[in-house]
Structure 1
Amino acid sequence: MPVLPGAEPFRHEGGEVGVLLCHGFTGSPQSMRPWAEYLAERGLTVALPLLPGHGTRWEDMQLTGWQDWYAEVDRELRALRERCAQVFVFGLSMGGALALRLAARHGDEVSGVVVVNPGNKVHGLAAYALPVARHFVRTAPGIASDIAKEGGLEIGYDKVPLHAAHSLRRFFQVVDRELPQVTQPMLLLRSPQDHVVPPADSARVLSRVSSTDVTEILLEQSYHVATLDHDADRIFEESYAFIGRLAPSVGKEGTATGG
């Protein structure tokens, strides 16, 4: 099945510091591409994969689950580790949960974590109905394009496949149990006005991780897909500064680019 225009994965061969970016549930690399390009322009090695079942049509996602999505980012992380001295993991929404699990499971191989509006739980009645409802109803309305900026558009599905949503619920439970294993420095950026993920999810993440070097930043001008919203530049700049603090070679002429 052809990938939707704009939803293609993105990779850039840069210097010895690498960043893996993880997009969200029913979304695509398009929501993260400006961030990835910002980092690539500054000499970093960047990987922004397309998660299985995403970026084509919702019927394809119906056939995938969290194990498929996690396996993809795990493989990308291992590839980055082979050629980079340090690797950071970034994520938006469900991508934040993927990044946190990578940090929990890979330990010192991950130098730091940056998450934007990370998901931690499927809320409301839907969470209880999913195990049964998914056998009778195939989809629910989509969650894409929660963006305050006028004209902002996220390439994502207009329907949520319930089998995949049920898998997402189970994945969040797995990640929540593993959060105490996250010890790396962490930057968490969240939107007080988010119509997809409530503030409780970020609060839960902050209360569960074992990291001692933690920074929380509020994105007052943005909704859920903040990487395409008014605060996008701030996300990019803060994340680059975060890397620069933990990877001394970044920003020093002739080292980040390997030349």
Structure 2
Amino acid sequence: MANSAEFIYEGDRTGVLLIHGLTGTPTEMRLVGKGLNRAGFTVVGMQLAGHCGTEDELLATTWEDWYASVEAAAETLRGRVDHLFVAGLSMGALLALRLAARRPEWVDGVGVYGATFRYDGWSIPWTGKLSFLLPWFKRFGIGRKRSFIEQPPYGIRDERLRAQVSSAMFSGDSAAAGLPGNPWHSLAELYALAKDVRKSLHTVTAPCLIAHAVEDDVASVGNAQLVESRVSGPVEMLLLGDSYHMITIDRERRTVIDRSADFFQRIVTGARPTRVAA
């Protein structure tokens, strides 16, 4: 059975829902959550359906299940706050954007951290970059028990932190650092989600803070530029030069925290973001 790694930090009447990535865990959002809470926000780090357990438990879920768990968590949190912000890392960023598209009346702003529509970063081997073919594999029942095993640098530029995370990842405790690999069929679900979100980006009117590592090893900065160019609401872009994919825990996490807190607070007080998407 999946372990619960969710966290809640009580603050004021402004809430932030944090969403982790595919095969990940709320732990990857915890430092951002603590930082936002110190700035006064009420923060919930949710756990996606099927995550923090076994590979079979993950494979038993679809992207619709993952999104349903996001909407349920958002509905619970919005009942306790006056303003609701949602922020996600990697696939979590896509789920945050989908919530903003489908429930615009709920979402005051979005934190888009390392958005991953495609695995096209510099560390992804050519076989991984062909993973967009996986929906076809799943459709024909090919490779249900196959996974892409995570490879160094595991989205982390800081070498000491990388060693700690990789040790936890391969320890068997998926609630601590997630699964060590991405099952093919779960990746197929991610690509189905990405296709759905891509089609609805133009309906996102909430202000978006798009934070992405320039040298993202997993998802190129083109993923962030896709969001910037297609959403309809105001946009601020934060490009990070000393991090890899896991920007919520890597060397510039404090910059992510500070910019996010400032971005959300300005929206609450009625100030608009300074840069608008083309």
How high is the TM-score relative to the length of structure 2?
0.83
Partner of 2:217: 195
Give the letter for the 2:92 counterpart: G
CA RMSD of aligned residues (A): 1.8
1:225 and 2:232 matched = no
2:23 to 19, 23, 26: 26
**Equivalences for residues 125-140 of structure 1 within 5 A:** 125-132=130-137, 135-137=141-143, 138-140=145-147
Runs of 4+ in 1 over 4 A off after TM superposition: none
Aligned to 1:146: 155
Alignment length (residue pairs): 245
Question: 1:2, CA displacement in angstroms?
Answer: 4.7
Letter of the 1:163 counterpart: H
Match of 1:184 among 195, 198, 206: 206
Task: Give, in whole Å, the separation in 2 of the partners of 1:172 and 1:21.
Answer: 19
Q: More displaced, 116-125 or 179-188?
A: 116-125
Cα distance, 1:130 vs structure 2: 4.1
The answer to whether the 8 Å contact 2:131/2:187 transfers is no
1:175 aligns with 2:197: yes
Residues 1:163 and 2:185 are matched in the alignment? yes
Task: Give the Cα separation in 1 of the matches to 2:191 and 2:226.
Answer: 15
**Deviation of the 1:143 alpha carbon:** 3.7
2:33 to 27, 33, 36: 36
> Which has the higher mean CA deviation after the structures are superposed, 140-149 or 85-94?
140-149
Identical residues among aligned pairs (%): 33
Mapped partners of 1:96, 1:190: distance in 2: 11
Corresponding residue to 1:205 among 227, 236, 245: 227
Counterpart of 1:241, as a letter, is D
Question: What are the equivalent positions in structure 2 for 1:5-20 lying under 5 Å apart?
Answer: 8-20=5-17
Structure 2 counterpart of 1:234, from 255, 259, 266: 255
The CA deviation at 1:65 is 1.0
Out of 245, 249, 253, the position equivalent to 2:266 is 245
In the TM superposition, 1:10-159 aligns within 5 A as 10-121=7-118, 124-132=129-137, 135-137=141-143, 138-143=145-150, 145-152=154-161, 153=165, 155-159=177-181
| Distance (Å, rounded) in 2 between the aligned partners of 1:105 and 1:142 | 33
Structure 1: which 5+ runs fail to align?
Answer: 250-259
How far residue 14 of structure 1 moved from its aligned partner, in angstroms, is 2.1
CA contact (8 A) 2:100 2:107 kept: yes
Of 122-131 and 88-97, the range deviating more from structure 2: 122-131
> Per-residue displacement from partner, 1:192-226 (whole Å, max 9, x unpaired)?
11121112211111111111x21101110000001
Q: Residue 228 of structure 1: CA displacement? A: 0.9
Deviation at 1:158, TM superposition (A): 1.2
The answer to whether the 8 Å contact 2:134/2:187 transfers is no
1: CA distance, partners of 2:240 / 2:205: 24
Q: Which amino acid aligns with 1:246?
A: I
